[in-house]
Chains A and B, each alone.
Chain A
Amino acid sequence: MKEGGWVMEDDRIIELFFERSEQAIIELSAKYEKLLFSVSNNILNNKEDAMECVNDTYLGAWKAIPPQKPNPLTAFLCKIVRNLSLNKYRDKKAGKRNSAFDVSMEELEYCIPSASVEEIWSAKELGIAINRFLATLDKDSRVMFLRRYWFLDSASDIADLFDLNENNVYVKLFRIRKGLKSFLEKEGFHI
């Protein structure tokens, strides 16, 4: 983060990429490094590996922009770092247990049809259904779901964010998962 916490607008950062100015990476880092590192470290549970993924994300952005002009930039970067981190996680066979990723995926196992039905429903179909479910939630519940299962925040981080106690967070997440399970079943996805 720059001195004084000033960060550049995404449009201007993308312009810098188009100008092939290395300042683009500096601005990207100032604005997104903390977020990207957090996503990666929650998957890998290893700071060095996470930092490597963040740097690879900058490189990926440098190669992709131009020609791409991602909008929103935030989701574009988050998806890159998440995919890179998951690839690294897969390479490390059984090496990292108990990362926030493991914990969050375990919570979702009960409400999302998984590998045994992989051949019946694709990840894309299920993902689209989950988007429909998320659209039915109020904003706070949706953000809470995303923070826990996409950004892989701990319950205590989420409690802090929403000014709740951890138990309230667990209960709310349980209700959201229950709602998701019920929604998917109504949509024809049998758990």
Chain B
Amino acid sequence: MKDNIKYFIADVLNEIDNEFITEAAFPKKKQKKLNWKQMGAIAACFIITIFAIRPLIEYTILKDDTIKMEMVEESIVPKFSYGVEIVRINQPPNSIEERESESSLVTWLEPEEIFAKDTHIFRGIISEMNYYKSTGGYESYFTVISVEVTDVYRGDMTRENRYKIYLPILPGIMMNSIAGDLDKLEVGSEAIFMPYIAAEESGIGSGNSFFSYADVADYYFSEGMRFLFLSTDKGVSYESDLYNIPSANNNVTLDDVAEYIKDMISNGVKP
């Protein structure tokens, strides 16, 4: 989301009546009386839920305690970033010592709202994966995949050309709770991708440094849960709780996803 839009909406909300603000400032909590059976059921559900979501709320996956020194293969000369150094490494470290403070906040949006985002949508096959490290004000590891495009649903890219996409993770080593299937991507993976366009101002920074995704890729994913439809041996992996994709035999294929997306776009959902 562009900053000027964000600030404009914030300015709009600043005009909300004092009366409404006061009404909502100290709301009374709704109380519901529970009998012992309900309380028991809730307690049981709570325990089960905690165990069920525990893997999801882990910020990083640490597979190995030993840290291998990565070899720097290429330094990137940034055009848009400042205060940071970006290097391509020939192999990712076995593990990351410090936990990444990636947030698990994900906006709840309906499919129409997601397709209205300013994303390009295309189908393709991953032909290359490279790993990078950025140091300076904002230190992070990340991955850039090259995708050979086989079909375009929205955007001005050309079939059979390759485009680079920034992933905020190292598959299998460093991920976050909203990475979704980004962690499962590998060379040869086929998927429908819905990444954001990496503009000059797209990136992350702290203090006097800024890392622009545009220095390393054409597109970027901020999270993979809802913006990726990955073909796997067991069918297409996607956020089925969100997208209601029709299919024959309840076995959704990438072709079904493509039809669904075309239908959503043709129904007037535009970025």
Contacts and interface: CB of A to CB of B under 8 A. Distances in A.
Interface of A: 35, 72, 74-76, 78-79, 82-83, 86, 90, 93-95, 97-98, 100-110, 112, 114-115, 118, 123-124, 126-128, 130-131, 134, 139, 142-143, 146-147, 149-151, 154-155, 160-163, 170, 173-174
B16 to A, nearest CB: 6
Contact of B8 (A94, A101, A103, A114): A114
Given A130-B16, A161-B30, A112 B21 contact: no
A143 B15 contact: no
Contacts of A95: 204-207
Interface of B: 1-27, 29-32, 103, 105-110, 112-113, 116, 201, 203-207, 210
Which 9 residue pairs across A and B have the least CB separation, nearest first?
Answer: A127-B15, A146-B24, A75-B18, A123-B11, A98-B103, A75-B21, A163-B30, A170-B108, A114-B5
Contact of A105 (B6, B18, B110, B206): B6
A35 B25 contact: yes
Contact of A150 (B3, B13, B31, B108): B13
Nearest to A96: B206
Contacts of B207: 95
A26 to B, nearest CB: 19
A115 B4 contact: yes
Given A94-B205, A103-B105, A109-B5, A128 B15 contact: yes
Contacts of B15: 123-124, 126-128, 130-131
B138 to A, nearest CB: 9
B4 A102 contact: no
Contacts of B201: 94
Given A100-B105, A170-B108, A146 B20 contact: yes
B12 A131 contact: no
Interface of B is mostly: mixed
A107 B109 contact: yes
Given A94-B210, A150-B16, A173-B108, A102 B29 contact: no
Contacts of A109: 1, 5, 9
A155 B106 CA distance: 11
A112 B12 CA distance: 9
Contacts of A105: 1, 5-6, 9-10
B50 to A, nearest CB: 14
B113 A151 contact: no
Contact of B5 (A78, A101, A115, A174): A115
A139 B29 contact: no
A9 to B, nearest CB: 13
A86 B26 CA distance: 22
A152 to B, nearest CB: 10
A82 B21 CA distance: 12
Given A86-B7, A94-B205, A79 B1 contact: no
Given A94-B210, A147-B27, 13 more contacts: A72-B18, A72-B21, A75-B19, A90-B7, A95-B206, A95-B207, A103-B106, A114-B5, A115-B8, A131-B16, A131-B17, A150-B16, A174-B108
24 contacts: A78-B25, A82-B14, A83-B14, A86-B7, A93-B205, A94-B203, A94-B204, A98-B103, A102-B6, A103-B105, A103-B107, A105-B1, A105-B9, A106-B6, A107-B108, A107-B109, A112-B12, A114-B5, A123-B8, A123-B12, A126-B12, A150-B24, A163-B29, A170-B108
Choose among B4, B24, B108, B116 the residue with the greatest number of A CB atoms under 10 Å from its CB: B24
